[in-house]
Amino acid sequence: MGITDDASRLATLHVDGTAYAVTRARRADVPALVALLADDELGREREHADLEPYLRAFARIDRSPDHLLVAVRSPQDEVVATVHLTMLPGLSRGATLRLQVEAVRVASAVRHLGLGTQLLEWVTGYARSHGAGMVQLTTDRSRAGARRVYERLGYVASHDGMKLHLG
């Protein structure tokens, strides 16, 4: 099935005359998604070649109605960007539903074209259309370029995030 008739299409992003399809990721996309995660200095250190853990994680993500793992496809059906979205219901802030944004990645071959910006703008629309009152994300402090994009889109570094690695 070609990307133009793929039932998983969520949106189309137009960047410099090229149409990119925003789709729900499929199990077959996992190798390409892992390659995107590893496509920078931090990712090369964090990710590994054994796909089994990623396939297990994908199955869990895909089963949950509160998760959406996105694969952005080029006209050649190559996965060129990804983002993982999670709806987080909570009691704080008047029971505001939040959309958590994780693992935003754009392939190095198409970085700096505006695809990441358009993807994040789509994410904001997705959040609104699903009732979220807030979009939140974390970014590694070493990702200065990504941070500039987030700030340009209105994200504010309002909190300090902390992590405890368990293994």
Domain presence at residue 158: no
pLDDT top residue among 100 and 1 = 100
Token couple for 119: 């993807």
Residues 6+ apart with CB under 8 A from 133: 93, 96, 97, 98
Q: What is the pTM of this model?
A: 0.91
Say yes or no to pLDDT of 2 above 50: no
- How many domains does one find in the chain? 1
Q: Provide the pLDDT confidence category of residue 7 given band limits of 50, 70 and 90.
A: low
Domain of residue 32: give its range.
Answer: 3-152
Domain presence at residue 12: yes
> Averaged over 107-136, what is the pLDDT?
96
Say yes or no to pLDDT of 107 above 90: yes
Nearest to 37 by CA among 101, 106, 99: 106
> Averaged over 39-51, what is the pLDDT?
87
| CATH number of 33's domain | 3.40.630.30
> Residue 6's pLDDT is what?
56
Domain presence at residue 167: no
The amino acid that residue 46 corresponds to is R
Domain presence at residue 164: no
The amino acid that residue 53 corresponds to is P
